[in-house]
Amino acid sequence: MSIEKNGLRVRFAPSPTGALHIGGARTALYNWLAARHEGGEFVLRIEDTDLERSTPENVAQILDALRWLGLDWDEGPISQVGRAEAHAEALERLIETGAAYRDSATADDVKAWKAEHGADRGYRGTPSPDGTGAIRLRVPDEGETVVEDLIRGEVRFPNRSYDDFVIARGDGSVLYNFAVAVDDADMGITEVIRGDDHLSNTPKQLLVFKALGIDPPRYAHVPLLHGPDGKKLSKRHGAASVQELRDAGYLPAAIRNYVALLGWGPGDDETLLSTEELVARFRPEDVGRSSAVFDEKKLRWMNGRYMREMSLDEYSATVRGFVDAETGGRALNEERFAFGCEIVQEKAQTLQEVWPLIRFLFEPPVEDEKAWRKVMKGDAARVLGEVEALLAGIDQSGNGPNHDGFTIESVQTALEPLPDRLGLGAGKVFQPIRVAITGTTISPGIFESVAALGREESLARIASARLKVPGPEELADQA
């Protein structure tokens, strides 16, 4: 029994054979946006007929990815395997009306038929007298099956080129194109938005709808995604699944925004669109016909914009959730953590980039031999001695993130004139400080970093590093 079509009903119907990849995520997003734009319904159907690969774990991965992306569904998840009875009933109906028949022809028989009638002709079979064999749908010899596509326009397929195609095996188990059409009919799906790799399946599904006497949905076939090299998107282009993007520190809102723009545009130059704006403006017929390019560098840029526009409280909470996974949820000084987030908010483009930048606030300096050899030479020992004296002279009031007088302003006032006074470039002065307190050449701003680390720890690390800096004789021996 099919559902009466009262308003837009779309569906996302993934095959659970692995993680949800970016192309599938875009298909899900477009269906979700269309449903929310029209006040319709978004149905989740799991096409799990591949019993070997359609595992519960793979289904769970897809549901997890959709939930993390914020794509809620109104109905489902519905198992295609669980609809076997409905498929069998529809199959029996077509056999009774003569729209389908059992045919015991082998692959060689079909080949011989085409040799006699022409290779460009679709095979036309004869019902087997003993009622055995695969079940085929009768395809008319004349006319065309026309796909009225919302994106591509009218696409015509000559019927004579199609075989009477198999819709069920000899044991009655149905094949993909039949099951999909029956499911879409029974669920009252009004629009099918999917990748254009399914376009070749559509005429067969339309013929099933016609045989069932049911009006088909409208179709919108979305061009596939490519990588920056112009080739079909794959793992070689970087993160390929939603879970990989999540683990790399991307935000759901940024992914929704970026992925929505892969083929669709709002009609102006606006690139940062809230989910509410996407819902208000999205229409499947506005999707372009050309393949869009997934470029993770552009996604990183957009993600960075989203991170910078967060309030500090939201930013800190979001980063903390990600860092807890990195650190095992260990206790951290909350005041120092919040200040650390504040000083990297303009620098980090993904959540994954934050912890390496602020880790020095909670752990000893990392051991980066390359950074040490590059920076800790020449005037480094003299510079660190001067820095140590200047920092020790800062007034020990209760100001600063550690309540020890080390504020960004007081540290900057003390250190900023030093390069000119020593006749050295800024890098020759500030990079030794950075390596001394963090172990590496990459950190937040140097004044912010020293203030965040605080008086006691900064002075201790700078003194320790100064004593380790090789003198001229040691450098000569190393050379």
Q: Which residues are catalytic?
A: 235
| DSSP run (H or E) holding 301 | helix 296-308
Decide if 472 contacts 382 (C-beta within 8 A): no
Alpha helices in 423-471 (DSSP H): 426-438, 446-453, 455-468
Specify the amino acid at residue 154: E
Decide if 91 contacts 135 (C-beta within 8 A): yes
β-bridge mates for residue 220, sequence order = 193
Give the separation between CA 211 and CA 227, rounded to whole angstroms: 40
Round to the nearest angstrom and report the end-to-end CA distance of the chain: 84
Those residues with Cβ within 8 angstroms of residue 136's Cβ, 6 or more apart along the chain or in another chain: 100, 101, 102, 103, 125, 163, 164, 165, 166, 167
For 458-463, which contacts have Cβ atoms below 8 Å and span 24 or more sequence positions?
Answer: 458/391, 458/406, 459/388, 459/391, 459/392, 461/365, 461/436, 461/437, 462/384, 462/387, 462/388, 462/391, 462/433, 462/436, 462/437, 463/384, 463/388
